[in-house]
A and B are shown apart, each in its own frame.
Chain A
Amino acid sequence: MAGPGRGSRIAVVGLMLCLGAAAPASAGDGPTISGGTACPARAGQPAWVRQSAVPQPGRDFAIGAWAGAQADLLQVANAATPEASEAVTADCRGCHEGDAVLPPDHVATDAMGMDGCRACHDGTQASDLSGLIHLDHTHYLAGVSCAACHGEADPPKEPDTAVCETCHGSLETLARLTADVAPVNPHDSPHGTPYAECSLCHLQHRRSEDFCATCHDFGFDPP
């Protein structure tokens, strides 16, 4: 098959993808979701929200308000769409009260943002949970509300790729950021626009998937 060294290359690919997604602004030509202020969702006034959904003042939402909720984020969104516009904190037990999500001796998470989670779960060590803490957490803890992606539709629909591009930059920008990923650029499929939908790989409410793996052995581990 692919010969020696493949395992280590896959690990590097996974890491590069994580980093690429976490810090897309490093090239300086796109909005950012980590640390910067350019992401319109964080400013509370995403361009596409202005067109398709009206933010409702007074419904600021802290993740702790989900205490006791056993449903997944989408079901919660149906009941009361949060309108986070500031980064919120990760009171993990606030949602996962009865679950065995956190070990009993886990450090307190009440005051943590995703940066706090990533201090340990950074994709490089045994405590990596990058595939287990689904991307909806990453988004929410960065201040991106359910409605920021889904609008007000009930039931919520899968957002178009254009919604993702609002914060993450164009697909062309992403393709440049991952141009050196081996063995192929995951954001530059030769199969055309139908194969360039973010949600083919980057799933929000369950573990992301390597959609390329339906046909190819690229060994991607998308965040």
Chain B
Amino acid sequence: MSERNQATHGLTRRAVMSSGLAVAAAAPFAGAAAAASRAIPETWDEDVDVVVIGTGFAGLAAAHEAAKAGASVALLEKMRVPGGNSIISGGVIAAPGSPMQAERGIEDSADALYDDMLAAGLDLNHRALARLVAEKALETVMWSIEELGAEYDGLSHLGGHAVPRSYALAAGSGAGLVVPQLARLEEMGIEPRTRTLLKRLVRDGDGRVKGVEVHEGFSHPDLDSGTPRAIRAARGVVLATGGFGGDPAFRALQDPRLGGELDTTNHPGATSEALREALNIGCVLIQPSWIQLGPWTSPDERGFGMAPTFVQGATASYGLWVATETGERFVNELADRKTRADAIIRTGNRAIAFVDAAGWRKGMGGNAGERRQRMKETGVLMEYDSLDEMAAAHDIPAERLKETVERFNAAVAAGEDEAWGRYLPQDIAPIDEPPFYAVRLAPKIHHTMGGVAIDTEAHALDVSTGEPIPGLFAAGEVTGGVHGASRLGSCAYADCLIFGRIAGRNAAAMEPWS
């Protein structure tokens, strides 16, 4: 606490703030707060150590660590249900050098993951952040098993990764982590306060973030709904509010091609208002134009849907993607997301992903029969008794399709995909067992790489000084830099959990302001 603030202590807030400019201008480290600070509430409705905004992986991890450190925590969620995008996500987390890899004789390392992250990220990654994620990924997965009780039952190979290295949650979705995270928090007496919208981050003239103003009883998407309430954060505020993939207007500001009606895999709450409020109080927005489209989605269902599990899990490893106009492959089916999404778009979204019956069995595992039935009922999955039938249904030149399959089968026999350099798993076999299963491809908005700038301690950085904003931490998709131009699949889980935990610990360790 500086002498100046000691001197003003005891005055009413209004008296302090009425001289706002003088106070702000005189505070040497106030950073952008000089321009951005607005009145601190006259009274606070509640006083806690740490306020966490958002209940995806990052927010829940932050609340968990803050509570473990002994802090009282207010955990806020604007939607009716906790979990954000995390709870509906695909359920895979990168773990280089893992026991499951060792069982299968797959060699891997944090360095190899780091290299893959930078390759997909076009070297735009903030290296210290990416390095931290790569190095802590494995221990984070082990932490999720030991401390959360998360259950994993498979090893997935996602695009852009040199080898299969992603642990797959037994639950089949991010609920397999969110639910145990919520359970641990409940044991510590913390429940998410749903329908509570962040309206303002309260940053004082001395530069520190000291609390939040929220609307309780918020009804998405009416930003004016709900009842105002001011929560004092004695130690810190953690911003874990996710990306803006579900916010067409803000998306279009960053990449004018990606506004409008373009479908997204995100939940409807993936909007930008919390990020914009962070900018209001002096955070730095970095790399917001890098908006990722998922290459494994289908135009025959809304949102993420059921296609990605099949397209990534089965067709990318055991099947083929072909452009319907040519009947030929057009991309390495296991390339990173951006490479593949761009390639699909270049076909005019006239492309299908398919496997044969053997590929379905290998790629879909467990309850494959039930899933197949559901996917067929919704119209996203199509089944064909022959390649000719599939070609006819999608207006593909049949002979060229069959040539493409024959060339790939020859590559399988040779043990090397010379055409596209795709990784061939040990159990791959020629594509020749009917029936054949196909999904049409159409990329959808999936992840926003840009966000507020942070350092390796999850401090949010000030736009004027480049220094940490005291009392404000950020983690997860609301931040930028970790993934550069394009995030690798299963790296968001690691990113969110790693920086969420750091943010929660560091927020709880702040000296309380008074």
Contacts and interface: CB of A to CB of B under 8 A. Distances in A.
Genuine A/B complex: yes
Given A182-B377, A191-B175, A192-B87, A215 B267 contact: yes
Given A191-B87, A191-B88, A215 B81 contact: no
A197 B195 CA distance: 15
A190 B171 contact: yes
Contact of B179 (A2, A182, A194, A216): A194
Contact of A214 (B175, B178, B268, B305): B268
Contacts of A79: none
Given A190-B175, A200-B80, A195 B87 contact: yes
A115 B253 CA distance: 55
A192 B301 CA distance: 21
A60 interface: no
Contact of B302 (A3, A193, A216): A216
Interface string B208-228: 000000000000000000000
Contacts of B83: 191-192, 194
A192 B178 contact: yes
B87 A217 contact: no
A3 B379 contact: yes
Contacts of B81: 194-195, 197, 200
A200 B79 CA distance: 11
Interface in B296-347: 300-305
B374 A184 contact: yes
B182 interface: yes
Nearest to B180: A192
B173 interface: yes
B504 interface: no
B376 to A, nearest CB: 9
A214 to B, nearest CB: 5
Contacts, number: 62
A42 B462 CA distance: 61
B179 A215 contact: no
B302 A194 contact: no
Interface string A203-223: 000000001001111000000
B386 interface: no
A1 B374 CA distance: 15
A183 interface: yes
Interface string B173-186: 10110110010000
A217 B377 contact: no
B87 A215 contact: no
A197 B182 CA distance: 15
B8 interface: no
Interface string B343-379: 0000000000000000000000000000000100111
Given A191-B175, A200-B81, A215-B267, A1 B303 contact: no
A183 B302 contact: no
A1 B178 contact: no
A192 B379 CA distance: 25
Contacts of A217: 301-302, 378
Contacts of B175: 190-195
Nearest to A195: B81
B451 interface: no
A215 B379 contact: no
B296 to A, nearest CB: 16
A214 B301 CA distance: 13
Interface in B82-141: 82-83, 87-88
Interface in A1-50: 1-3, 6
B172 interface: yes
Contacts of B305: 216
A183 B88 contact: no
Given A190-B172, A194-B182, A215 B304 contact: yes
Contact of A183 (B80, B82, B178, B378): B378
B229 to A, nearest CB: 16
A183 B179 contact: no
A85 B302 CA distance: 45
Q: Which 8 A-B residue pairings sit nearest by Cβ, starting from the closest? A: A192-B175, A2-B379, A215-B303, A192-B179, A183-B377, A194-B81, A3-B379, A183-B378
Given A183-B377, A193-B182, 20 more contacts: A1-B379, A2-B378, A3-B379, A182-B377, A183-B374, A184-B374, A190-B171, A190-B172, A191-B83, A191-B88, A191-B173, A192-B171, A195-B81, A195-B87, A197-B81, A214-B267, A215-B267, A217-B301, A217-B302, A217-B378
21 contacts: A2-B378, A183-B374, A183-B377, A190-B171, A190-B172, A190-B175, A191-B83, A191-B87, A191-B88, A192-B173, A192-B176, A193-B179, A194-B82, A194-B179, A195-B87, A200-B81, A215-B303, A215-B304, A216-B301, A216-B305, A217-B301
Interface of B: 80-83, 87-88, 171-173, 175-176, 178-179, 182, 267-268, 300-305, 374, 377-379
